[in-house]
Structure 1
């Protein structure tokens, strides 16, 4: 994710065409004045998040005049370029000269070490930072997660991760399900008379579509060769992630704005398009695009009433934060920061909503190192508990841009676990929430204990109780045939309280839910008549 993340998270982009070479002569300038000028330029580049160019200048100065301040700047630049090996190398060089790191760099060094699976060293530096930060609770969680990382491996047998053969040596990222395949971003080279490149001399990102291919039996063989998607809307500069909604009749997308430029840089902004008889057509720009900040990724709920975006707009927790905006039928509301339950001083990006479950990537939340994928249940009233998706979705490398289908059983992931940014197909057989169980309620009479005879229990009230919270989270009533439907809102330990409709008798039935996906989600609940008691 080295180049990719720099492009997508940078505040804006360089937009010059690589068509000329500039030759500069220094005349009577001294080496000292040249280095002073380079240092100023490097500082300006770093401040504007153009880390690659800044690193080149700092490295040139370090070669000419070794200095710990250049080593520190290089370590920081490579960290923000998401190159942990290089960042660690420069931190190590810095520590050969200086006795200790600045407080914030202690944290960055710990993160870089964790990304290389050097967990013992990472914990040592996390502990140093913990003392310097007055017991930062997030760092305490990171230490706990690393020491208990086996918990993130327990569901690994229920995931299948497969690297797709349509990847190229270029960066292929942010695939989302579309029609019989997916749409994704790539900066693979394209035939062109004029070479459009970014500040790293890489081609701009463009959209591509790949379709599943099947054999005569209907079994999927592979994904077809990618073709350009929405060619007539291909922007002049960078394109970003897309999100389809309204049965794939509408889409939200990210692109650099050709009209907004500040000091040679262009922000990423949010736009919308609709699909008509003649294909996709641009419809509108997001009302809260800005010239001084970027919106780097977006997801829209299927009904088109809520979207989540990632942005470095002011007022956030730090870095890229996730925001929510709602649509009232005419306009989108001002984005609202999701707060520190989700956002951290690091980066949160690539949101993807399916049902009520929001997936996103973060390098600030506790994980296995680098960017990990997390999920959280979203409702109009509250935000659920953030969950790390665990291995093999997450590794110590950068894993991001997970996008799943409606029932969260299949989708796509981007990861650099094999060196470059590639797209992986993800298949999940874990039970997803919320889901509904159906079944029949029956009972035995007290004197039938030795009998297998069961009687349908009609018109009884069922209350689903969370054992951990001790609260009722769902209710249902059995019909005349004892049939019932009960919605399970989230994974937990549950019991069901059964109350008779005529005499008010009550009983408790345990409900054991595993993590794996159920077939038809059909249960037979049986209570014994002599177990009925009052006031559970």
Structure 2
């Protein structure tokens, strides 16, 4: 019996050791595939290993990384959800989790994890932009009714992207093959086919290879035409002869090449490389002005702001000058890619700025020498979606164009056509300071159709300007408001209104608060702190004289949001300075909501609002003993909406946090 037991024990141990050996080998194979950028293969091997190992955190994160590189946010969310709350996880995975949630339209949970990441790593400039976008989601839908979009019939189950209008048709990049039914073949990164340039004939709908002379056995990518469409700049893998070249990390970089069309031979020839290509980093996605004297492109060269940045290069006396980074008005700590030029406007894709998820398309105006001016603006829905959107091209008046989107399936990029139709007419309006006549930036503008009671919300731009549709038979009641200003008088604008609409805002007078005296309960008012009996600059006053008149502005919030607006931060900074100068003063921070939700919800939301302001002041060095944060829900409205329908502007006045000096420590 004993020999039998011994033999059984040996067999069991042999099976266990063999199983462990197979698991270790599988994990090592997964690591090799990951290091070789074979993320699809690595994900399969890691998943197999995960079934038989206790080291679940490392493997789960590796699987999530694979799916992140493969741009599959559903899978990223699924795996990171199982480990996101573990105590020793790298905070960057909270950011990755929030990004996946955003791409999956899970906005509230995304906001929570962005906040988590911001608390751990407050110096990442992307997070405030992401949070601000989530708190102003409605702004992305302002012009959505003016767009019509259509997915092109020529798309395949693979990758089709980066369209360029050319010769009555469309040049684009695709992983398709024309000689057989579409199939997947083994390309390392995601097991898809290599990319080529294709041409769509708009008249016939036929798709062909663009030109054999520009086709290699490796990747050809995004391109642009210039000089009357007789020259092309395009992206291609780094290879020499018939062999692909890799850098020290085993990466095949991208390079930009130029070619000229020979009309007589009807082919592209004289392929020459861009002078600042490199074997150590990638340059690609060229966008050129019509003359071919300026090129903006994507690169991950050292010294950039993020993973990939946009650069500009000038051509002088036949030579391309050293590229220059386009700066922080365009580039972020994330990815900026796929630039295109429409006149003096630059369109590009970014995942480092505030948007709807994944890569979003932004635009920014350019100066005469193609330097960015002003701020980049998200072009909004329906051009942008929660998934990757990029590669927008359009005609000069932006009435028609094309773009790329992965909104249907993360495995595929598709080309879409869009048209932008303005209403019967559009009237421009301006919001101005009534005293100075200066434009007011980011003022809230409300347009109410007096017949249908339809309301449109927009904001003034950097010139104080806004646009409004002029429709036959419609009379708009226009109002505007801005933090620090009184709500404007109503202006009626009908279809026969010919002039620009001018809205003048008057500055709001400072709010004077009365504060109680601690001992004898008498109320004493003074013009300033300096006039308190026995007071000096340090606020060393007797406890009997805590009554004071303190000039303070409430801060306001967007509907259902608790994040701090930029103007709220400005006001909090003033309060911070006062409290740091007077460390014995104690202030109650009282937060309020409007009345459009239930009591419990409003109470919780008001507490979240005041906590956000409290946390900001603490982060700026204010002692927590100086602050008493308290949420009151909708119990203390400035405007009572009981029994009547309040306007949005009136609701806005109720969504606030106020500050009350209640004592001296």
TM-score, scaled to structure 1: 0.71
Unaligned runs of at least 5 residues, structure 1: 1-28, 214-222, 432-436, 438-464, 470-489, 495-511, 518-522, 527-536
Distance 1:133 1:229, change over 3 A: same
Using the TM superposition, give the Cα deviation of residue 45 of structure 1 relative to its aligned residue in structure 2, in angstroms.
4.5
Name 2:403's counterpart in structure 1.
413
Cα distance in 1, alignment partners of residues 186 and 18 from structure 2: 33
Cα deviation digits, residues 464-486 of structure 1 (max 9, x gap): x97248xxxxxxxxxxxxxxxxx
Whichever of the two has the greater Rg, that structure is 2
Whether the aligned pair in 1 keeps the contact of 2:40 and 2:70 (CA below 8 Å) is yes
Using the TM superposition, give the Cα deviation of residue 37 of structure 1 relative to its aligned residue in structure 2, in angstroms.
5.4
Name 1:90's counterpart in structure 2.
79
Q: How do 1:67-466 and structure 2 match up within 5 A?
A: 67-95=56-84, 98-99=86-87, 101-134=89-122, 136-191=124-179, 197-199=186-188, 200-213=190-203, 224-259=205-240, 261-262=245-246, 265-277=251-263, 278=265, 279-379=267-367, 380=369, 382-419=372-409, 420-429=412-421
Whether the aligned pair in 1 keeps the contact of 2:26 and 2:45 (CA below 8 Å) is yes
Q: Aligned to 2:320, what secondary structure does the other structure show?
A: coil
Whether the aligned pair in 2 keeps the contact of 1:466 and 1:492 (CA below 8 Å) is no
Using the TM superposition, give the Cα deviation of residue 493 of structure 1 relative to its aligned residue in structure 2, in angstroms.
4.4
Using the TM superposition, give the Cα deviation of residue 430 of structure 1 relative to its aligned residue in structure 2, in angstroms.
5.8
Cα distance in 2, alignment partners of residues 514 and 57 from structure 1: 55
Distance 1:311 1:42, change over 3 A: farther
Whether the aligned pair in 1 keeps the contact of 2:158 and 2:192 (CA below 8 Å) is no
Q: How do 1:466-485 and structure 2 match up within 5 A?
A: 467-468=439-440
Q: Aligned to 2:331, what secondary structure does the other structure show?
A: coil
Cα distance in 1, alignment partners of residues 185 and 88 from structure 2: 43
Cα deviation digits, residues 247-272 of structure 1 (max 9, x gap): 21111001113215127653221000
Distance 1:209 1:131, change over 3 A: same
Cα deviation digits, residues 250-301 of structure 1 (max 9, x gap): 1100111321512765322100011122222233110111112222311111
Whether the aligned pair in 2 keeps the contact of 1:161 and 1:425 (CA below 8 Å) is yes
Cα distance in 1, alignment partners of residues 155 and 135 from structure 2: 35
Whether the aligned pair in 1 keeps the contact of 2:394 and 2:402 (CA below 8 Å) is yes
Cα distance in 1, alignment partners of residues 440 and 498 from structure 2: 24
Cα distance in 1, alignment partners of residues 40 and 317 from structure 2: 43
Cα distance in 2, alignment partners of residues 335 and 112 from structure 1: 33
Distance 1:108 1:265, change over 3 A: closer
Greater relative CO (CA pairs within 8 A, separation 6+): 1
Cα deviation digits, residues 169-214 of structure 1 (max 9, x gap): 221111111111210111113338xx9752143221111111222x
Cα distance in 1, alignment partners of residues 269 and 463 from structure 2: 48
Distance 1:366 1:491, change over 3 A: closer
Distance 1:405 1:365, change over 3 A: same
Distance 1:37 1:312, change over 3 A: farther
Whether the aligned pair in 1 keeps the contact of 2:364 and 2:372 (CA below 8 Å) is no
Q: What root-mean-square deviation, in Å, do the aligned CA atoms of Structure 1 and Structure 2 show?
A: 3.0
Cα deviation digits, residues 301-355 of structure 1 (max 9, x gap): 1121111111222211221211111111311112212222221222111100111
Cα distance in 1, alignment partners of residues 372 and 191 from structure 2: 44
Whether the aligned pair in 2 keeps the contact of 1:176 and 1:411 (CA below 8 Å) is no
Cα deviation digits, residues 472-531 of structure 1 (max 9, x gap): xxxxxxxxxxxxxxxxxx96547xxxxxxxxxxxxxxxxx763679xxxxx9989xxxxx
Whether the aligned pair in 2 keeps the contact of 1:253 and 1:271 (CA below 8 Å) is yes
Whether the aligned pair in 2 keeps the contact of 1:185 and 1:207 (CA below 8 Å) is yes
Distance 1:428 1:31, change over 3 A: same
Name 2:566's counterpart in structure 1.
none
Cα deviation digits, residues 212-270 of structure 1 (max 9, x gap): 22xxxxxxxxx612111112220121110110111211110011132151276532210
Cα deviation digits, residues 83-108 of structure 1 (max 9, x gap): 11100111122248x34632111111
Cα deviation digits, residues 433-491 of structure 1 (max 9, x gap): xxxx9xxxxxxxxxxxxxxxxxxxxxxxxxxx97248xxxxxxxxxxxxxxxxxxxx96
Using the TM superposition, give the Cα deviation of residue 150 of structure 1 relative to its aligned residue in structure 2, in angstroms.
0.4
